Amino acid sequence: MLAEHRLHPSDFILPLFICEGQGCEEPIKALPGVSRWTVDRIGAQARAAAALGIPVVALFPNTPGHLRTMGAEEALNPDNLICRAVKAVKDACPEIGVLTDVALDPYTEHGHDGLVDEAGYVLNDDTSRMLTQQALVQAEAGADIVAPSDMMDGRIGAIRAALEDAGKHNTAIMAYAAKYASAFYGPFREAVGSGGRLKGDKRTYQMDPANAAEALREVAMDIAEGADMVMVKPGLPYLDIVSAVRKRFEVPTFAYQVSGEYAMIEHMAAAGGGERDALILETLLAFKRAGASGILTYHAMDAARLIG
């Protein structure tokens, strides 16, 4: 009766990984209980999420190696893996929202989120132009929300202008506005096939974990450029940032309970160090207490069942 915060299935966004093939489920070793799904099976996952009251799924492709290039050309292919998955989800479950990742790391042979020069330095403006085209391709496929996760400067304004010019007025932008260069992303990189490819690190464009005021500046820029909602990533180690963003800007503020956070809970529970269901609900409730409007979490369906 006196609880100040509550969880509801509508708080969750379920990330789903897509792979090539037919009729396949590929378990991801680093993410116990999470799999990659082929396009023909992704619709069933979306229907299961919708039946539990989860309003949105987020799609991430594991692009085959032979399609990963220095120029990330596959990102602009209207028949690429992610676009086919968007269409399959919308055909199977029209009522669920579809969020797509706008970044080049699933398509580059070097594993970075953008185009790089000969020295391996990510090129901000060239990347932003390509991200704008990528967002348009995804919107044409039926994405309801495009989510630039690359952390290039100026890309939100460019994407918003391009969507408006293309008549995609109702395509929302969820900006990864405060994305930190974190050690918690390892299992995700395995899931999308980019981990072993990464040359160097992403600290030249993702945020320094030591910085908090910078996060507020980054969020302010993305909102000014036309973001409809913003995201902080990772989640639990950055709840102070979630809280500060929500209080300062009063805009829809999402957090990503990333792969490393999920894996810690699963491995701790498997080792007998804690009760799994309680760990899931307590960590998710922490996001709500910090002010998150919603949470991207691999535990979305488990949590929705537990809430009942």
**Measured at the alpha carbon of residue 203, what is the angle toward residues 199 and 204, in degrees to the nearest 5?**
90
**Measured at the alpha carbon of residue 125, what is the angle toward residues 122 and 131, in degrees to the nearest 5?**
85
**Is the distance from CB of 22 to CB of 41 less than 8 angstroms?**
no
Backbone angles phi, psi at 38, to 5 degrees: -75, 160
Q: Which residues are bridge partners to 57 per DSSP?
A: 14, 98
Rounded to whole angstroms, the Cα distance separating 268 from 220 reads 37
Does residue 179 have an active-site annotation? yes
Active-site residue, selected from the candidate residues 90, 168, 202, 233:
233
Rounded to whole angstroms, the Cα distance separating 207 from 14 reads 24
Rounded to whole angstroms, the Cα distance separating 148 from 171 reads 13
Number of Cβ atoms within 10 Å of the Cβ of 17: 24
Helix 300-307 to helix 39-51 angle (10° resolution) is 30
Number of Cβ atoms within 10 Å of the Cβ of 187: 23
Active-site residue, selected from the candidate residues 168, 179, 202, 288:
179
The three-state secondary structure class of 239 is helix
**Is the distance from CB of 217 to CB of 208 less than 8 angstroms?**
no
Helix (H) or strand (E) holding 13: strand 12-19
Rg (C-alpha) for the chain, rounded Å, is 18
The answer to whether the peptide bond before residue 106 is cis (omega within 30 degrees of 0) is no
Backbone angles phi, psi at 14, to 5 degrees: -100, 115
Active site residues: 179, 233
